[in-house]
Structure 1
Amino acid sequence: MKSLNLAALVVATSASSAAFATQYLTVEQAQQVMFPDATVFKDANLQLSGEQMQQVEKLSGLPARSVGWRVFAAYKSDTRLGYVVLDDVVGKFELISYAVAVNADASIKQIEILTYRESHGFEIKSPAWRKQFIGKTPASGLYVGNGIASISGATLSCTHVTDGVRRIAAIAQIMLKK
């Protein structure tokens, strides 16, 4: 009897955590939202060298975390408008998938939450919160409490997404800046 109750609890817990997952945008939709003038998006995936990973860590104050990064270059005809960088960070327990649009000068153009899987903290999807990142670089207030406000009840999501964006901003400065 106890094993049946335990099994029912496991199923109920699994179902409740999965029920909170919300996909807001696909990668393709995010690309179009962030670069509406783009006529084409080309794969521009990055592979960081050991030296570049050290530079990212120094510039962002965070571990570089990965050698490979999924990146798309946005073009209008032959003119490169910028890049879309995809990433996932852990909120409190679950992954948050998001995209960062980077201008040609390597500043942040925009961020979009693609999929949010946590039961709390979805307020980071708010345009007002995401707007704080526009124009930022690793050296210009890309920290919760210093340039980026936190949201009560979404502290970990705010912090982890902000850290992820700061890491991507550092990668952009090192690898993508014109």
Structure 2
Amino acid sequence: MRVLLAPTAAALALAPAGAFAVEYMSAEQAAKLMFPEAERFEPRALTLDAAQMQQLAARGVAARSAQWSVQAALRGTQVLGYVVADAVIGKFELIGYAVGLTAEGAVKQVEILSYRESHGHEVRLPAWRKQFVGKTGAAPLRVGEDIANISGATLSCTHVTDGVRRIVVVVEMGKKGGVL
């Protein structure tokens, strides 16, 4: 019996820590939280052309995709703002998040939708997420410049910040292009 226990114990010791996946809210719930005054959310497809993709790269933003699904928050015919849900890699797993932007394109709110890592969940802290409020495409939106790092959550902080920056710039381009 000891022969069987030793390999089992060794295998358990080498196995990765248990799953820590937590789904906090859906993208739809986040949209309603960010824009409670909205009567409805209208999907708007945003497709970046080759020139826009190059503009993103020139601004130091990794494009990742030419296709974006943006939810316009509406009250009557008035656009209150936009919500974009996305996911970035943490250290090993995906972090789902949503960014709410004002009609002018400034960050209104950032919500973490899901978190699957065993460490770094502090990116969910309201104080950390609040740093993004009011930021536009003109802001650096970089950890260590205008966004503080959280010790032990460096990769999560960096990747969420990069993702928020990407969304802010993509929405800015969509607005300039007349799509949003």
Consecutive unaligned residues of structure 2, counting only runs of 5 or more, are: none
Looking at structure 2, the residues matched to 9 and 54 of structure 1 have their Cα atoms a distance apart, in angstroms, of 48
The answer to whether the Cα contact below 8 Å between 1:104 and 1:176 also exists between their aligned partners in 2 is: no
What secondary structure does 2:97 align onto?
strand
Among the aligned pairs, what percent are the same residue? 55
Q: Which of 1 and 2 has greater Rg?
A: 2
TM-score by length of 2: 0.88
Match of 1:82 in 2: 81
Looking at structure 2, the residues matched to 56 and 81 of structure 1 have their Cα atoms a distance apart, in angstroms, of 25
Q: 1:100 to 1:5 in 2, by over 3 A?
A: same
Q: Does 65-74 or 111-120 show the bigger shift?
A: 65-74
TM-score by length of 1: 0.88
Match of 1:145 in 2: 144
Looking at structure 2, the residues matched to 75 and 136 of structure 1 have their Cα atoms a distance apart, in angstroms, of 22
Match of 1:39 in 2: 39
Instruction: Count matched residues.
Output: 173
The yes-or-no answer on 1:174 pairing with 2:176 is no
What secondary structure does 1:144 align onto?
coil
Structure 1 moving runs of 4+ over 4 Å: none
Looking at structure 2, the residues matched to 70 and 89 of structure 1 have their Cα atoms a distance apart, in angstroms, of 16
Q: 1:142 to 1:123 in 2, by over 3 A?
A: same
What is the one-letter code of the residue matched to 1:26?
S
What secondary structure does 1:129 align onto?
helix
What is the one-letter code of the residue matched to 2:26?
T
The answer to whether the Cα contact below 8 Å between 1:22 and 1:117 also exists between their aligned partners in 2 is: yes
Looking at structure 2, the residues matched to 176 and 81 of structure 1 have their Cα atoms a distance apart, in angstroms, of 13
Aligned pairs (5 A) from 1:1-178: 5=8, 9=12, 13=16, 16=18, 18=19, 20-59=20-59, 61-176=60-175
